[in-house]
Structure 1
């Protein structure tokens, strides 16, 4: 339950700028970075616990390469998924010259390179630095920021989450404290449509129709609302407050959801206290207003296809098969765009600025190149981890098995489940990269054997073999009624 001292906000209140901004705080606001770093005045529980884990965070980055069975792996953080056309050439060059010729899109809107030689670190860092993709060597793994991919590109009124992302990225890189965040800590900047708000981020900024922004921590649907110009500072302060609580508790938590229950409840109050100390005006919102997000819309990603933009151009939403793009496919997307590419947390790319008259022909070329451009594609909603031979923990070549299942369904005119639940193929029980919400979980239990279940509703798994039987079972599971 949220603390009871503040009065809950009525949905019909006047915009926050007029309603809650205090007059005597001007001197504090002139020094925002100092204010953000002030310690929260809420009491921090000092109760040492057994740490959740014995080792440090080994999450890969652009400088810390992970040793996989198919070579080194690099993960490039792209705040809000944004890449200028010049920047987009850098990962393509790196994949072509140093890696396996492919780019993997992650569930956080980042890009991974695989098959790298262990001696390529300096050359890779140089490529990324020259492209402006490595603004801080000490903070490069903590720049995990997702934002609503269609913000400003469709006809829905939206907050400027792209600007928030740029400011938050700068604040993160300037904060010595933030360098201690785990490479798994996630910020989500939602323009009010509820897409990235459903991704389970550690700190979420959720825009409201009245122009204010709700600051959520973890799974908490309540939180203080702030003015939009204060939102990036509030997000950083929330992350730094989490670090204070995690360190004081001795829990070793990397994510908000890993905090002990009493510290998780205390985080919300500590953030509000810290905002007040930083001169950031707030009022408390007890839950997400129904007028902003309906439960039937929360978490809905951009579907493949054209999107009409306010400036008269068309943005193209394109997905990658199993989240992988060849260098040629990536360069084709960049050549099509008239503005920065936006990599989405659903392993897709938004290509902006296409002339309406040319959009149909461009989509045809992208489809011919093997990209998903239509929600009716048999590949839409199908995801997979790396599997064998790239991952030592994998029990099967899940990408090949997923491809065989889709090909079987197409060849035999079997309903492949498009338009139904998403499906994710995992090489082991870790389920790396699985989607949120309800999804068909296909987990390898050994070579040629998988457990299939529908996550999110508690169905018992059924075990089957590879081949036609597996393909039919997956297709049937995807058509499970989508009830909530």
Structure 2
């Protein structure tokens, strides 16, 4: 069973941050939240200065730095460059967003991400959210609507743990209200996610109604265990909402933007961005978005840069596309194998991208498992066992 799927919470939330690091086998591990995956060139350069072993990209478009020599000095510097704006809320700033931010659809999500982050950090009660609680803002491509976030904003409503509710004109205030409703329904229980509450989406939706959201904005039916009801979503949005393949293909390549500029999505092999790669991206001096698929999106370019020799992959058919891995040994004491090395060796034997995403893990915890259909390569201590999720 994946940690991400485990609902029998028997221990307190210990998600790492910049102030609360994790004692990994290779030293203190710090995690920096990047709402919407947004990071500035200056912030990239600062991270590069601390990451001799590389910057790890996470499945929530955040970053991790391993073997931090001085956690206190690291946290102080991150605060100075704007990557730690709230010591009380740092571990609850879990916000993913469509990396193109509405450039292809017209529903601009990046300003809403910034608004949500400010409002979240400004509400003392929401500091009590578990570190696994996740917000998402989808620009209409369906890419992050399919990730199963606790609360997802789409142009014509919200999703609660993947269950859609039509709320015309929904905005950041609804996302915050849903988070407060979750805390009220959670009470003193151990649930970290809406999906871990029995009938969680229905309970949160009903509490939203009871606390002032007009009842007419919610489906007239479907507030029971099924929760679907009459959503008002279009067919593509509804399919994305319940976990079907997103409209935007994840991977690598160049995207032409309506204004004549381009965006470039580059795969970061096994989600490890080197210090040299971080400095290269910073030198381009354009908006950068990290994604939940451990890729980097460069926005608003006059033309695609030449990344040949950088190790970043822009060929959509590259065998690196769709391949991910947990940390493995020696960084994780629970791992039964050097997963990163073994996954890289496997990729070296292939000529093209795999038909399905392939995720390599060092134990049954299966950390970092992507959403959707995935081939899992699970270390057993006696080789790898191949499974299909």
Query: TM-score, normalising length from structure 2?
Result: 0.90
2:5 matches 1:60:
no
Q: Which residue of 1 aligns with 2:225?
A: none
Larger Rg, first or second structure (1 or 2) = 1
Contact kept in structure 1, 2:328 and 2:340, CA below 8 Å: yes
2:204 matches 1:267:
yes
2:112 matches 1:178:
no
**Partner deviation per Cα, 1:299-334 (whole Å, 9 max, x = no partner):** 644431111123322211111000001000111112
- Going from structure 1 to structure 2, the CA distance change for 1:435 and 1:200 (only over 3 Å counts) comes to same
- Going from structure 1 to structure 2, the CA distance change for 1:293 and 1:337 (only over 3 Å counts) comes to farther
2:259 matches 1:311:
yes
Q: Which residue of 1 aligns with 2:168?
A: 226
Contact kept in structure 2, 1:440 and 1:454, CA below 8 Å: yes
Structure 2 SS opposite 1:316: strand
Q: Which residue of 2 aligns with 1:286?
A: 230
For 1:12-31, list aligned pairs within 5 A.
none
CA–CA distance in structure 1, aligned partners of residues 349 and 137 of structure 2? 39
Q: Which residue of 1 aligns with 2:82?
A: 132
2:191 matches 1:253:
yes
Q: Which residue of 2 aligns with 1:378?
A: 319
- Going from structure 1 to structure 2, the CA distance change for 1:297 and 1:441 (only over 3 Å counts) comes to closer
For 1:18-167, list aligned pairs within 5 A.
52-95=8-51, 100-117=52-69, 120-153=70-103, 156-167=104-115
- Please list every run of 5 or more consecutive structure 2 residues that lacks an aligned counterpart in the other structure: 1-6, 220-228
2:148 matches 1:214:
no
For 1:232-251, list aligned pairs within 5 A.
232-247=172-187, 250-251=188-189
Shift of 1:152: 3.6
Q: Which residue of 2 aligns with 1:347?
A: 294
2:375 matches 1:440:
yes
Contact kept in structure 2, 1:144 and 1:185, CA below 8 Å: yes
CA–CA distance in structure 1, aligned partners of residues 300 and 280 of structure 2? 14
CA–CA distance in structure 1, aligned partners of residues 15 and 125 of structure 2? 18
- Give the RMSD, CA atoms, in angstroms: 2.0
Shift of 1:275: 4.3
Contact kept in structure 1, 2:373 and 2:388, CA below 8 Å: yes
Shift of 1:94: 2.2
Contact kept in structure 2, 1:187 and 1:203, CA below 8 Å: yes
**Partner deviation per Cα, 1:347-372 (whole Å, 9 max, x = no partner):** 0111123223xx2xx23xx2311111
Out of 367, 392, 400, the position equivalent to 2:341 is 400
CA–CA distance in structure 1, aligned partners of residues 100 and 238 of structure 2? 16
